[in-house]
Amino acid sequence: MEVCVCVKRVPMVGGAIALTPDGQAVDTSMSGFTVSPHEECAVEEAVRITERHGGTVTVLTLGPPEAEQQLRDMLALGAGRAVLLATDGTERGPVATAAAITAAVRDRGFDLLLFGNEAADTGGYQVPVRVAHALGLPCVTGIKRLEVTPGAGAAGRLVAGREYRGSLESFELPLPAVVSVKEGINLPRYPSLPGRLRARRASVEVLDPGPAPAEGLRTERLRVPRAPASRARVLGSGAGAVPALVRVLDDLGVLR
Regarding 15 and contact with other proteins (CB under 8 A), the answer is yes
Positions of E strands within 93-176: 112-116, 139-143, 145-149, 157-164, 167-174
Give the contact letters, 188-217, x = binds to other proteins (CB under 8 A), - = no.
Answer: -xxxxxxxxx-xx-----------------
Please classify residue 59 by burial: count the beta carbons closer than 10 Å to its beta carbon, then call 0-12 exposed, 13-18 middle and 19+ buried.
buried
The nearest distance, CB 248 to other proteins, in angstroms, is 11
Determine if 232 is a binding residue for other proteins (CB under 8 A): yes
Using CB under 8 A as the binding rule, whether residue 231 contacts other proteins is answered as yes
Task: Let me know if 153 is exposed, middle or buried by CB neighbors in 10 A (0-12, 13-18, 19+).
Answer: exposed
Nearest in space to 114 (alpha carbons), one of 146, 82, 86, 87: 146
Between CA 219 and CA 78 the distance in angstroms is 35
Tell me the number of residues near other proteins by CB under 8 A: 34
224 sits near other proteins (criterion: CB under 8 A): no
**21 scored as a contact of other proteins (CB under 8 A):** no
Binding string, residues 63-102; x marks residues near other proteins by CB under 8 A: ------x--xx-----------------------------
CB atoms within 10 A of CB 20: 12
Q: Are the CB atoms for 93 and 215 separated by under 8 Å? A: yes
Q: Does 31 bind other proteins (CB under 8 A)?
A: yes
Kindly list the residues in this chain that would bind other proteins in the complex (CB under 8 A).
12-16, 18, 29-33, 69, 72-73, 189-197, 199-200, 229-236, 244
